[in-house]
């Protein structure tokens, strides 16, 4: 296992209004001895829990086991910044060039449906109070950014998709931060740890069994073709089907899914802001703002009026110590102070980081392992997996219960492979650093 990411997200208290990821339930026991299940889901993040939840809904007779190296919401799903927006894979104009207009349109509409499904799920699971529907604006302050957004706006128009372009004044109406132009998406913000915890409780209520503190060590063939064995430190699980929803840990486990690069990404949160500052920073329309420049900061308000700001230079995981993270948090704090006068002196109460799974073509991976039709991997959402991880869980549950779901370009068993021997790591780190300096200049 890689070392755990640093810091505590603002979703995990001390504010009692925030829902703890798994409530007051006792921690799930570790794997011990020989266990059996119809379906074993490894990884209790949004992808794994959505798979278990939808499987249990589709076939209540299934014996489903969820096993995590730590527990529910231990990974990115408990540490995200909670911007629930559409879009998956490369920007829409590139998607049109790579996959053609029909597929690009289907990709976008799948992501819009995924957002709507998560909003419905929040209502169904009783976490609607931490989910605010609103807007997401992708905006720019540079000439390059204007050209990029103009290409995307044209592609949306040609595909007949409703993604309005915003002028500087339109943006200023929503968020009092100067940008030249933007694109407007219907979206939401939510507490990702609360949703993950609620999914875990809903799974338990449907009879799904949980094991924690049990990192998967290896996969072994079973005695028959219809069985797979999963090896954990304290025991083994014999299972008919397995779903490996381990996201950024794919490489560490040696899964044959191509390169899903583990990157450590960072966020900070302020103390609750005064009402006028909230109003100036997106509170009126529930607007989250994403700078179109890669690695530039993005921000949103929480339901208790904090500003959460994420982005900055990602670090290649595993990281040796916290000094890299401390530098990224300092950089984010500088950017926060410069966003708006109301933020010049505000206290930063939370600094945290978490691992995302990045693919080199920007598309996730959702599919059975090569030569093992009963063992699926899902992950690699490139830091935008809040909506899609839940959708992917539903997709895998469909496939495992005999339905043939629609195929999209990321319904594939592996991403392109990036040979990354140890000596190449500093090069990749330097490239990420360069991109981040570009984002600073753009601001
Ligand atoms: C700081 C940050 C900000 C983000 N902000 C956003 C955002 O605003 N919007 C958005 O859409 N997305 C965002 N994301 C990305 C989003 O959180 C992820 O795409 C999504 O949560 C991935 O879910 P998952 O279930 O695939 O992975 P994870 O939540 O990472 O779950 C994987 C699980 O697998 C377990 N695991 C790993 N290895 C093993 C093993 N060997 N054995 C057993 N279990 C194992 C882990 O403990 C973990 O619980 C953000 C992520 C981070 C870190």
pLDDT digits (tens, 9 = 90+) for 166-216: 999 999 999 999 999 999 999 999 999 999 999 999 999 999 999 999 999
Q: Which of 217, 201, 159 is nearest to 30 (CA)?
A: 217
Q: Which of 92, 132, 128, 126 is nearest to 110 (CA)?
A: 92
Where do the domains of the chain lie, and which CATH numbers do they carry?
A: 33-79+194-260+361-412 (3.50.50.60), 102-188 (no CATH), 262-356+437-443 (3.30.9.10)
Q: How far is the CA of 55 from the centre of ligand 1 (A)?
A: 20
- Counting ligand 1 atoms within 8 A of each CB, the residue from 5, 45, 365 with the most, and so the one to mutate, is 45
Is residue 215 within 6 Å of ligand 1 at its C-beta?
yes
Q: CA 138, CA 218: separation in Å to the nearest integer? A: 41
Closest ligand 1 atom to residue 386 Cα is 11
3-state SS track over the chain: CCCCCCECCHHHCCCCCCCCCCCCCCCCCCCCEEEEEEEEEECCCHHHHHHHHHHHHHCCCCCEEEECCCCCCCCHHHCCCCEECCCCCCCHHHHHHHHCHHHHHHHHHHHHHHHHHHHHHHHHHCCHHHCEEEEEEEEECCHHHHHHHHHHHHHHHHHCCCCCEEEHHHHHHHECCCCCEEEEEEEEECCHHHHHHHHHHHHHHCCCEEECCCCCCEEEECCCCCCEEEEECCEEEEEEEEEECCHHHCCCCCCCCCCCEEEEEEEEEECCCCHHHHHHECCCCCEEEEECCCCCCEEEECCCCCEEEEEEEEEECCCCCCHHHHHHHHHHHHHHHHHCHHHCCCCEEEEEEEEEEECCCCCCEEEEECCEEEEEEEECCCCCHHHHHHHHHHHHHHHHCCCCCCCCCCCCCCCCCCCCCCCHHHHHHHHHHHHHHHHHHHC
What confidence score (pLDDT) does residue 18 get? 32
What confidence score (pLDDT) does residue 341 get? 97
What confidence score (pLDDT) does residue 430 get? 72
Closest ligand 1 atom to residue 74 Cα is 49
**Residue spans of the chain under pLDDT 70:** 1-5, 13-25, 420-424, 435-436, 438-443
Cα distances from 2 to residues 71, 263, 354, 432, in angstroms, run 15, 12, 12, 20
Q: How far is the CA of 32 from the centre of ligand 1 (A)?
A: 25
Closest ligand 1 atom to residue 264 Cα is 53
Q: Tokens representing 58?
A: 């589709």
pLDDT digits (tens, 9 = 90+) for 233-260: 999 999 999 999 999 999 999 999 999 9
Nearest CA to ligand 1 atom 35: 43
- Counting ligand 1 atoms within 8 A of each CB, the residue from 66, 67, 247 with the most, and so the one to mutate, is 247
- Counting ligand 1 atoms within 8 A of each CB, the residue from 383, 389, 394, 415 with the most, and so the one to mutate, is 383
What confidence score (pLDDT) does residue 324 get? 83
Contact 80, 308 (CB under 8 A): no
Q: In the Cβ-directed half-sphere of 432, how many Cα atoms lie within 13 Å? A: 21
């Amino acid at each position: 296992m890689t070392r755990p990411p640093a810091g505590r997200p603002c979703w995990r208290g001390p504010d009692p209004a925030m829902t703890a990821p798994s409530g007051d339930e006792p921690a799930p026991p570790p794997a011990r001895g020989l266990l059996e299940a119809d379906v074993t889901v490894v990884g209790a993040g949004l992808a794994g829990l959505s798979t278990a939840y939808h499987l249990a809904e589709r076939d209540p007779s299934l014996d489903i086991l969820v096993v995590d190296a730590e527990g529910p919401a231990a990974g990115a799903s408990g540490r995200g910044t909670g911007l629930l927006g559409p879009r998956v894979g490369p920007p829409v104009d590139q998607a049109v060039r790579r996959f053609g207009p029909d597929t690009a349109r289907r990709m976008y509409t799948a992501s819009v449906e995924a957002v709507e499904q998560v909003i419905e799920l929040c209502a169904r699971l009783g976490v609607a109070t931490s989910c605010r529907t609103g807007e997401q604006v992708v905006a720019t302050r540079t000439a390059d950014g204007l050209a990029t957004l103009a290409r995307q706006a044209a592609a949306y128009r040609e595909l007949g998709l409703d993604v309005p372009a915003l002028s500087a004044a339109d943006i200023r109406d929503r968020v009092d931060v100067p940008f030249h132009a933007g694109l407007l998406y219907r979206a939401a913000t939510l507490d990702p740890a609360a949703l993950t915890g609620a999914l875990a409780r809903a799974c338990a209520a449907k009879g799904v069994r949980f094991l924690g503190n049990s990192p998967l060590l290896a996969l072994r063939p079973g005695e028959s073709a219809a069985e797979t064995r999963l090896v954990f430190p304290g025991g083994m699980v014999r299972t008919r089907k397995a779903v490996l929803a381990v996201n950024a840990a794919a490489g560490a486990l040696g899964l044959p899914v191509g390169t899903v690069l583990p990157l450590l990404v960072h966020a900070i949160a302020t103390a609750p802001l005064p009402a006028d500052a909230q109003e100036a920073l997106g509170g009126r329309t529930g607007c989250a703002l994403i700078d179109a420049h890669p690695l530039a900061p993005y921000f949103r308000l929480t339901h208790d009026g904090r500003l959460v700001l994420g982005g900055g230079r990602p670090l290649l995981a595993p990281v040796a110590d916290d000094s890299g993270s401390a530098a990224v948090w300092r950089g984010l704090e500088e950017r926060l102070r410069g966003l708006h006068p109301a933020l010049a002196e505000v206290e930063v109460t939370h600094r945290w980081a978490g691992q995302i799974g990045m693919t080199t073509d920007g598309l996730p991976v959702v599919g059975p392992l090569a030569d093992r039709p009963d063992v699926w991997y899902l992950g690699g959402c490139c830091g935008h997996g809040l909506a899609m991880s839940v959708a992917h869980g539903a997709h895998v549950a469909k496939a495992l219960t005999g339905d043939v779901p629609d195929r999209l370009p990321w319904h594939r068993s592996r991403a392109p492979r990036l040979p990354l021997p140890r000596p190449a790591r500093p090069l990749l780190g330097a490239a990420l650093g360069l991109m981040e300096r570009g984002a600073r200049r753009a601001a």
